[in-house]
Amino acid sequence: MSIEFRNVEESQIVMCELMLPSHSNFNGKIHGGHILSLLDQIAFACASKHSRAYCVTASVDTVDFLNPIEIGELVTMRASVNYVGNSSMVVGIRVEAEDIQTGEVKHCNSSYITMVAKDDHGNTVKVPGLILDNENEIRRFLKCLKRIKMKGHRHQEFNETDFSSKNYLDELQKYRVILP
């Protein structure tokens, strides 16, 4: 049994789409839901390309909307596998929008989506390891490890069975809330 590894660049995907009026919200900006749909598509393509398997979205770990996207801008999404586990992969995605009349490019979104590889019966399958070729790829992998650790702490904290709001009353007083 040989262990398979792939370079990060082997699974990288670039996707471009012109933003149309049908993609806009009531404020005339591109609807965040449309961008989320595109993020899921490119994460699927990237993870499937790396694993050579059908992949499902396990979690959307981070989506940071940094700048609005306008109708008529060309959106470019760049995705790569930043981390691999046994059957899971974290896909990092950078979204940029270009004003095609001026050439101005702005960073609009950064996202991290966890995908899981599955077989035809819905069982998880082992994914190839990752060959990290440069400092940037190593940094991205290590940042994923930190996010995974923080996510574990968050799950642990929110799943506490002995949680009591009384322990947080002083903290609640700082916010605009009325307490019973």
pLDDT tens-place string over residues 17-27: 999 999 999 99
Report percent pLDDT > 90 for the chain: 79
Distance CA 55, CA 73 (A): 30
Model pLDDT, residue 2 = 53
* pTM summary value: 0.88
Average pLDDT over residues 55-76: 95
Pairing outcome for strands 88-98 and 129-131: unpaired
Model pLDDT, residue 1 = 44
User: Which domains does the chain possess?
Assistant: 5-162 (3.10.129.10)
Distance CA 101, CA 4 (A): 45
Burial of 91: CB neighbours in 10 Å, binned 0-12, 13-18, 19+: buried
pLDDT in tens, 27-44: 999 999 999 999 999 999
pLDDT in tens, 107-139: 999 999 999 999 999 999 999 999 999 999 999
